[in-house]
Structure 1
Amino acid sequence: MSDRRLTPANGRVAAAHLRGQVAAERFVAGEAATLAAPVADLLAAPCGARDRQCLLGEAVTIYERRGGWAFVQAAKDGYVGYLAEAALGPPGAPTHRVAARATHLYPAPDMKTRERMSLSLGARVTVTGEAGRFAETPLGFVPRVHLAPLERPEADPVAVAERFLGAPYLWGGNSAFGIDCSGLVQAALAACGIACPGDTDMQESLGDAAQGPPRRGDLLFWKGHVALVRDAETLIHANAHHMAVTVEEIAAVTDRIAAAGEGPVTAHRRP
């Protein structure tokens, strides 16, 4: 059985490359688009539950527009779902990503002007010029210090994850405004140029099975949960216990999860 999260088909329409593999009324090549909102929920169905989120500048392929909703597949991880059609714009060519935990986009290169929007770490923008301490984009101005070129990935996923410390927990969240355990891992790895799927069960096949003591950058998995190892004793994770991104001792988290009836560590991976 195909995974609906990764299969661009909804019965009415399906991606052309799925012809002969799934049933659909129409098979289409799809239409390139880019997220034009700071952050948008990717839903399991129109007006349905949030599966994940997409950030400004991320590319998607639209397979159907219907009733104000777009049936899409995200380029970053292949996740399929529904986005509000109003949140989408034409395809773009981003040059930079937000490397700070969050930033603001202004109508002028002046921090005293009223911001147009807030952007999360991982959002993508197209820099067209510079104005003092600001980078100019088609949408406005962003502090240059908060941006990094897309072609220059970071080296340490844990250091990226630490920028989210204190960010509120949000089921299915992918931004500094709300994030869950798999969203944190994906954001940290993506900033380092490491492809990463969106959900914990998918992430459990990342990299190689690790042997021996955990080391920085490893992933530890429990039933429905994932965390990044900071060192031999501590980890960083977005968790519902604290409803935030926190650093904790590996032993304490393992004991707490076991006490809640969720069992032991299920996998130890090295991306």
Structure 2
Amino acid sequence: MTRLRVIQPVVDLFSQPDGLRDRQLLFGDMVEVVEETDGWSRVTADKDGYSGWVRSAQLGADIPQTHKITAPATHAYEQADMKTRDLASLSFGSTVQALSETGRFVETELGFIPAAHTTPIAEVQTDPVAVAELFLGTPYLWGGNSRFGIDCSGLVQAGLLACGIPCPGDSGDQEQAVGTAQPEDTEPLRGDLLFWKGHVAWVSGPNLLLHANAHHMAVAYEPMDQAISRILAQGDGPVTAHKRL
């Protein structure tokens, strides 16, 4: 099987060629190509084992990545100067190869990226909720995984992967795989996860959730008791699990 990398800023991962978006991949994500047909490739993503179809032209050679984007989003410029033409926009979590460092910029295969927006790829963060908070105001996008559009499970995965914690791509799988279930009367703490059928939210503070949701159509804070009542009233059921990392 062929191993390739994503070479566009954000790539939809489809259920079938020209089908519906299931999730997204980011620039630099590594995949294993399982099958190719008519300009499409069925791939499995290294970061979470998610499988789906992408356009073959969105994949390229496996170039070792050295840095990752840790700002919510960034630009790659034509030169090491923010006043020059921007060539690409990248989301948090994208990875790039540093060719050189020039003052305040890192030269990459896409252009010059502000050094302040990158860290060496081996570094991990320690607070997944703080990572998720970088996405505040990001538009809600079903299956989204980037600063340009994200959903509830994408927000959870972004925080956990940035902290070196394995995490599946979908909320149902996350409920089974992530953290330790807490008794029903356990007080939620920052960094805990609350799950519903088809939804997940970070606990970001006392009686406060942070989640990507269709009610706000964005990543937003919401009082926990209000969210639990609202979700129940709209017919999506009660909390199904309270997990602690």
| Residue equivalent to 1:208 | 180
| Residue equivalent to 2:196 | 222
Distance 1:266 1:195 in 2: 21
Does the alignment pair 1:79 with 2:50?
yes
2:32 to 51, 55, 61: 61
Distance 2:202 2:242 in 1: 10
Q: 1:1-271 counterparts in 2 under 5 A?
A: 30-205=1-176, 206-211=178-183, 212-271=186-245
**Percent identical:** 55
Give the drift of 1:232.
2.4
- Deviation track 1:120-157 (CA, whole Å, cap 9, x = no partner) reads 00000111211111011122110000011121100000
Distance 1:148 1:246 in 2: 26
TM-score, normalised via structure 2 length: 0.97
Give the drift of 1:230.
0.6
Distance 1:245 1:196 in 2: 19
Give the drift of 1:63.
1.4
Give the drift of 1:264.
0.9
Distance 2:228 2:179 in 1: 22
Distance 2:84 2:38 in 1: 36
More strand by proportion, 1 or 2? 2
8 Å CA contact retained: 2:88, 2:110 = no
Give the drift of 1:223.
1.2
- Deviation track 1:47-72 (CA, whole Å, cap 9, x = no partner) reads 00000000000000011221111110
Task: Give the count of matched residue pairs.
Answer: 242
AA partner of residue 210 (structure 1)? Q
- Deviation track 1:4-38 (CA, whole Å, cap 9, x = no partner) reads xxxxxxxxxxxxxxxxxxxxxxxxxx100000000
Give the drift of 1:262.
1.2
TM-score, normalised via structure 1 length: 0.88
Give the drift of 1:216.
0.8
Runs (4+) of structure 1 moved beyond 4 Å?
A: none
Distance 2:23 2:144 in 1: 6
SS in structure 2 of the partner of residue 112 of structure 1: coil
Distance 1:128 1:170 in 2: 33
Report the RMSD for the aligned CA atoms in angstroms.
0.8
Distance 2:244 2:5 in 1: 32
For structure 2, list consecutive stretches of 5 or more residues without a partner in the other structure.
Answer: none
- Deviation track 1:82-118 (CA, whole Å, cap 9, x = no partner) reads 0111110101211111101000011211111111110
